[in-house]
Amino acid sequence: MKSYLAAAIQMTSRPDLDRNLTEAEELIDLAVRQGAELVCLPENFSFLGPEAEKIQQADAIAQKSEQFLKTIAQRFQIVILGGGFPIPAADNKVYNTALLIDRNGQELARYYKVHLFDVNVPDGNTYQESSTVMAGMELPPVYHSDTLGTLGLSVCYDVRFPELYRHLSKQGADVLFIPAAFTAYTGKDHWQTLIQARAIENTCYAIAPAQTGNHYGTRYTHGHALIVDPWGTVLADAGNKPGIAIAEIDPRRLSRVRSQMPSLNHRVF
**Annotated catalytic residue, options 43, 54, 70, 204:** 43
- Residue of 241, 187, 245 whose CA lies nearest to 212: 241
From residue 152, give the alpha-carbon distance in Å to each of 100, 165, 210. 10, 8, 17
- Residue of 211, 258, 204 whose CA lies nearest to 227: 204
Q: Is 113 a catalytic residue?
A: yes
**Annotated catalytic residue, options 23, 40, 70, 156:** 156
**Annotated catalytic residue, options 64, 66, 113, 204:** 113
Query: Which residues neighbour 262 within 8 Å (Cβ) at sequence distance 6 or greater?
Result: none
Contacts 24+ apart (CB under 8 A), 62-67: 62/86, 62/87, 62/88, 62/94, 62/97, 64/17, 64/21, 65/21, 66/99
Tell me if residue 206 falls in helix, strand or coil.
strand
One-letter amino acid at 12 equals: T
Residue 152 β-bridge partners: 142, 176
Q: Is 40 a catalytic residue?
A: no
Q: Is 25 a catalytic residue?
A: no
Residues serving a catalytic function are 43, 113, 156
